[in-house]
Structure 1
Amino acid sequence: MSPDPKRPNIVLILADNLGYGELGCYGGGILRGAATPRIDDFAKQGLLLQNFNVESDCVPTRSALMTGRHPIRTGCRQSVPAGFPQGLTPWEKTLAELLNQHGYATAHFGKWHLGDIPGRYPSDRGFEKWFGIPRTTDESQFTSTLGYDAEVAELPYIMTGTAGQPSENVCVYDLEKRRLIDELLVEKSNEWLSRTMDEKRPFFLYHPMIHLHFPTLPHADFAGTTKQGEFADSMAEMDYRVGQVLDHVDHLGVRDNTIVIFASDNGPEFRPPYRGTAGPWTGTYHTAMEGSLRVPFIIRWPGKVPTGVSSNEIVHVTDIFTTLLSVAGVPKPEDRPIDGVDQTAFFRDPVNTKSTRTGFVFYIKDELRAIKWEDWKLHFVYEPKVNQSTGKLESPYLFNTVRDPKEEEDVLSYNTWVMQPMMKLRTEFQRSLKNDPAPPDPLKD
């Protein structure tokens, strides 16, 4: 553990497909069938962001988190089926690699989804230890699906690995293991945290959970507890698992010098019966609507981040990379464009300080879908529901996300001035792409 306040420990917990409207502290909780007391209490201990923005789905967001770069740069544009080239290329520098090179103990317990071949597993990308799934959790349904043939579609596995050694299969990841895996991941994380207490190094624990990704199935201890179905039971379990990690940090006596972040990788699931909610916003992941972009984010850093504060300032997932490097005293890479900006000053004083970001571009795969700037959102392709796009708009739609959170009333005709800062932002970003070409899309080769 780190006794040096200039090199704080870091615990990053990432929920999967957790929409803005699910947690009690974001207006959900019991209204969604399951109270979330542990996360709600955690929100009171730090800063809650109401305008934290991510990418369109699992892979793009996780790549942006690990590299501080938009996925259009890294080639991690979308989730790719097993058997196709995927993940972060060797020349990308991950958050774990940079922290580890500067003395941090690093571990990953959970869902990776940034590479499933030797050279691209977490233990190849800066994590000294890892345990979890290399891709996504819907694969847990494979072995129970009528007609599934392991000879033509790879078996899904829970895996483990240590830096410098080959990663290995632990067991087949099936529906039985799906119900057990979040419990197992907490056990692995807490065991690792206990072991690091004997080291004089700061630690970085990355704990990307499996809940609430479909199939959203709770552990037997939580099945039926909410009386509102398996999705609500899984929310109750997710809340409990987060509490277990928080309790262990406190038990080890490292709370005061540990940054703990809880966030989601994208907006809610759209497939029934596991459909989630984005609360006041429209849309789910795989769209450019606010329901896709805005997700929960809470940060606790005792004595550094004030308690019981919420903010509507814009923060992007790429900013977490840059900010965590900054607080750890680790320089960011200078040999490539880094899209994340340092939000340390804002996190420390969110009442009197503005975010260092005013907006960002939003791509889905290789298509620019929208630009967000201050209270405005410009859509080049309007898709309020997945697979219901009418294609590129002849004239973009402009929405004010404060006055029109559902993004229903186009106001471009009498707010054309907004195009100036937005087009400047787009032009600057696209100019930088010319000198920073991304790897090809593996599904288009």
Structure 2
Amino acid sequence: MPKTLVDIQLIRVVFITFLGLFFFSKGSEIYGYTSDSPNQDSPNILFILADDLGQEGVSAYGGTIIKTPNIDRLADEGMMFTNMFVNPYCTPTRSELLTGRYPFRTNTLFPISNYDRHKNDVLDKSEPSFARQLKSVGYRTAIAGKWQLSFLAQQDWLNDFGFDTYMLWQIISEENERTTRYHNPYYRNDGAILDNEIADKYGPDVLVEFLSGFIEESHQDGKPFMAYYTAMLPHFPWVPTPDSKDKNLSTGFSRGINYGIPKFYPDMVKRLDYNVGRLLETLDRLDIAENTIVIFLTDNGTDQHLYSFINDQVIYGGKGTLTDRGSHVPLLIRWPGKVPPNSKNDHLIEAADFLPTFSELANAPLPKEHIDGRSFAKLLTGDVDSYEPKEWVHIQTAEGRYLRTKEWIVTNQGEFKKVQPYPVDAVIKEKEEIEGDELEKLMSFESLLQNLHE
């Protein structure tokens, strides 16, 4: 072949190779697969998950016993969701939030607390994780607080789930003994045990200091972050906080696990609110509040041993029950310049919706696995008109499951329940009490509920 033709062929090969690399690179950016060059406009995410707190525990939702000014600030400066639903226990909700998948798919049907009894009921590290998806597009990721999806002494899988760094309460020690979380806390920080070093500190405050440091480091490095504060407050044991006037625990009661004294519960909600304020102050101090989505959510309703008031009506905690008191929880989201301040939204939202929502907001890919949730990002970016509302949400604890619409509950026990204003429990209705078209619709939901499991 003449030298001129060889040169032309070589030029063509080089040119085609360049084009291929160029379009592959641009395609990776478009579909969010590059981790080296995150979008500079990618929003930071501060996700706060409280433990055992129903609507009645937040004054913005009508709670009248405890004032929560910092949490209420998120309602004043952002959006209050009035139809947010989770599962009535911690492990199923935390699993669904992280994976975007219902508990029956991930075998996380009930709270895990004992390694010998529950070691095969943990969330497998092969399951999806919103942290992993965000990390794939350049986010720095951290979690601090309560995990309860595996046993950290034997199954420390936080890095596998996509968290760059963590500080978590390790419920069971290496000696298989239950540990403490508030006073004389026993934490695990990136594989190392923190015990004596923080013995004289109040555990939740240590966690907030850790997360604030992570936020500051991420900002200095110029990387978007996901900071997941899985707060332990105000879960039992109900014990004094640093602000409590009474420090006496001598009259506490125990039922296998130390519950503490209910009179300290309001103090613990106040300390939760205080720590929410500290995290908001960190964003303000670093001047990054404008580009940070702040989410406040709870993992289930208030503990059944407690009662309080909402809009001056007495309410008993519904944690663990398949009622609205167990699953109908607060959700507040602030994103300055995007989410209208002091706004309300009544669309149905469930725990599985967060993974696809975070993925859409960060331009991250979805996992290959089936995801049950649906993104509600359009409700946060102002594109409400193109958002397709959900007809129902799915709620589960152990083998009990149901679909809930705004007006009805359809259970896997063949019951149809009419929803009542919160906090009144839904009322069972016999089929003959339900009008024809409505009954037909409910029966279609009943079939859908069964088919979800198949």
Length-normalised TM-score, structure 2: 0.78
SS at match of 1:89: coil
Q: Who is 2:158 aligned against?
A: 122
Separation in 2 of the partners of 1:339 and 1:99? 18
* CA positional deviation for 1:51: 1.1
Q: 2:145·2:169 contact (CA, 8 Å) conserved in 1?
A: yes
CA contact (8 A) 1:270 1:284 kept: yes
CA-atom RMSD, angstroms?
Answer: 3.1
Instruction: Give the residue type in structure 2 aligned to 1:427.
Output: S
Q: Report the Cα offset of residue 170 of structure 1.
A: 1.4
Q: Which amino acid in 2 is paired with 1:21?
A: E
Distance in 2 of aligned mates of 1:152 and 1:112:
17
Q: How many residues align?
A: 393
Closer/same/farther in 2, CA of residues 151 and 119 from structure 1, 3 Å limit: closer
How far is 1:171 from its partner?
1.5
Q: 1:426 to 1:172 in 2, by over 3 A?
A: farther
Asked if 1:427 corresponds to 2:447, the answer is yes
How many Å separate the matches in 2 of 1:46 and 1:249? 15
Q: Is the 8 A contact 1:107 1:129 kept in 2?
A: yes
Note the C-alpha offset of 1:285.
Answer: 1.4
Alpha-carbon offset, residue 375 of structure 1: 1.8
Establish whether residue 181 from structure 1 lines up as the match of residue 200 from structure 2.
no
Once residues 89 and 422 of structure 2 are traced to their aligned partners in structure 1, the CA distance between those partners, rounded to angstroms, is 26
CA displacement at 1:278 relative to structure 2: 7.1
Q: Which structure 2 residues correspond to residues 179-258 of structure 1 after superposition, within 5 A?
A: 180-224=202-246, 229-258=263-292
Sort the Cα spacing of 1:409 and 1:259 in 2 relative to 1 into closer, same or farther, 3 A. Answer: same
- Residues 348-372 of structure 1 show CA distances to partners (whole Å, capped at 9, x for unaligned) of 349867663110232221332x221
Which residue type is aligned with residue 168 of structure 2? G
Paired amino acid for 2:79: L
Tell me the distance in 2 between the aligned counterparts of 1:81 and 1:3. 38
Q: Paired residue for 1:413?
A: 432
CA contact (8 A) 2:324 2:422 kept: no
CA shift in 2, pair 1:331/1:21, >3 Å = same
Q: Secondary structure at the match of 1:361?
A: strand
Are residues 1:396 and 2:429 paired?
A: no
Give the secondary structure class of the aligned counterpart of 1:49. Answer: strand
1:159 CA displacement:
3.0
What amino acid is the match of 1:424? S
Equivalent-residue separation in structure 1 for 2:295 and 2:176 (angstroms): 40
Q: Amino acid of the residue matched to residue 420 of structure 2?
A: T
Displacement, 1:423?
4.0
8 A Cα contact 2:45 2:293, kept in partner: yes
The answer to whether structure 1 residue 356 and structure 2 residue 401 are counterparts is no
The verdict on how the C-alpha distance between 1:236 and 1:189 changes in structure 2, with shifts beyond 3 A counting, is same
Alignment of 1:19-418 (within 5 A): 19-28=54-63, 31-32=64-65, 34-83=66-115, 84-85=118-119, 86-117=121-152, 118-135=154-171, 153=177, 155=179, 158-162=186-190, 167-171=191-195, 180-224=202-246, 229-271=263-305, 274-275=306-307, 284-333=318-367, 335-349=368-382, 356-368=389-401, 370-379=402-411, 392=413, 396-402=415-421, 405-408=424-427, 410=429, 412-416=431-435, 417-418=437-438
The letter for the 2-side match of 1:210 is M
Task: Write the distance in 2 (CA, Å) between the matches of 1:189 and 1:397.
Answer: 44
Q: Cα distance 1:208–1:70, how it changes in 2: closer, same or farther (>3 A)? A: same
Deviation at 1:275, TM superposition (A): 4.9
- Contact 1:305–1:349 under 8 Å retained in 2: yes
**Residue pair 2:378, 2:384 contacting (<8 A) in 1 also:** no
CA distance in 2, matches of 1:218, 1:173: 21
- Shift of the 403–79 alpha-carbon distance from structure 1 to 2, 3 Å rule, reads closer
State the Cα distance separating 1:153 from its structure 2 match: 4.1
CA drift at 1:161: 3.9
Same amino acid, percent of matched pairs: 26
**Structure 2 CA distance for aligned equivalents of residues 310 and 355 of structure 1:** 17
Distance 2:411 2:197 in 1: 39
Structure 2: gaps of 5 or more residues: 1-36, 248-261
Q: 1:288: how far off? A: 1.0
Separation in 1, partners of 2:57, 2:422: 22
Between 1:4-13 and 1:182-191, the stretch displaced more is 4-13
- What is the identity, as a one-letter code, of the residue corresponding to 2:327? L
> Residues 216-249 of structure 1, C-alpha deviation per residue, up to 9 Å, x if partnerless?
2242234459xx9411111211111100001111
* Distance (whole Å) between structure 2 residues aligned to residue 300 and residue 245 of structure 1: 13
SS at match of 2:202: helix
- On the 8 A contact 1:20/1:277 being kept in 2, the answer is no
CA drift at 1:289: 0.5
Tell me the distance in 2 between the aligned counterparts of 1:207 and 1:182.
10
- Shift of residue 54 of structure 1? 0.3
AA of the residue aligned to 2:165 = K
Contact 2:54 2:302 in 1 (8 A): yes
The answer to whether the Cα contact below 8 Å between 1:131 and 1:160 also exists between their aligned partners in 2 is yes
Contact 1:71 1:77 in 2 (8 A): yes
* Runs of 5+ unmatched residues, structure 1: 143-149, 381-391, 435-445
1:19, 1:277 within 8 Å by CA — same for their partners in 2?
Answer: no
The residue matched to 1:296 in structure 2 has which SS?
Answer: strand
Given that 1:346 and 1:353 are in contact with CA atoms closer than 8 Å, whether structure 2 keeps it comes out as no
- Residues 123 and 161 in structure 1, CA contact (< 8 A), matched pair in contact too: no
1:430, distance to aligned residue in structure 2 (A): 4.0
